[in-house]
Amino acid sequence: MRILMTESDPSGGAVAGALLALEGHDMAYCHPPGAAPSTAPCAGMAPGGRCPLAGGDVDLLVDVRLAPGPFTLREAGVMCALRARVPVLVAGPTPAGTGLEETVSRCEPVELVETCAEAVSPTGPAALRAVADAVRPLLRRAGMRPQIRLVEVDDTVHVYLSFLSEISTVLAEEIRQAAAQAYTQVTRDRFRIVAHVALLAAT
């Protein structure tokens, strides 16, 4: 897995990055350990630098936060990753007042190695959020909110979007396509996916 590492404090992710590398992960850094001091806010904005997200092959961004505190400039890669629909895992306390609790996965720093695989699971929270975010704009005007489930069967992930009331055929197809595209993007096309739009049965 290709993992991009950032941190709230200088060198805060060095140990975590080394441990993940020992597990066989391909590591990249917003702030490479041992790099010469620079006024640039990250590696991508340093002279001659290139953002690791530009290659489109990052599977997960890990933000190491060893202590509570406000969101820092060093963690700007979190926002870059979210815009690129790359799953984000915060190792440590999420910064208060940012809303990240609803958009990222979280674990304790000591759980990081085990949690990375779960964070990019084909039916995990990052994939579910990506689908929900993709279909929300299509449904905002109608005031609808589907029930979304991700189910893996025989190496295929089925995305079920279920509604309490009828929707038009055109809207249903737009939703199905948006969900499939978002899922494919966030999982880097590693899984076969089939999206379904259905009406919930009355009880």
Using an 8 Å Cβ cutoff, are 87 and 105 in contact?
A: yes
DSSP secondary-structure letter at 65? -
**In a structure prediction context, what are the per-residue pLDDT tens digits for the chain, which is 203 residues long?**
999 999 999 888 889 999 999 999 999 999 988 777 677 889 888 888 899 999 888 999 999 999 999 999 999 999 999 888 898 999 999 988 888 877 788 999 889 988 888 888 899 888 888 899 999 999 887 788 899 999 999 989 999 999 988 889 999 999 999 999 999 988 888 899 999 998 875 54
Q: pTM surpassing 0.85? A: no
Using an 8 Å Cβ cutoff, are 198 and 163 in contact?
A: yes
**Distance between CA atoms of 101 and 69, rounded to whole angstroms?**
14
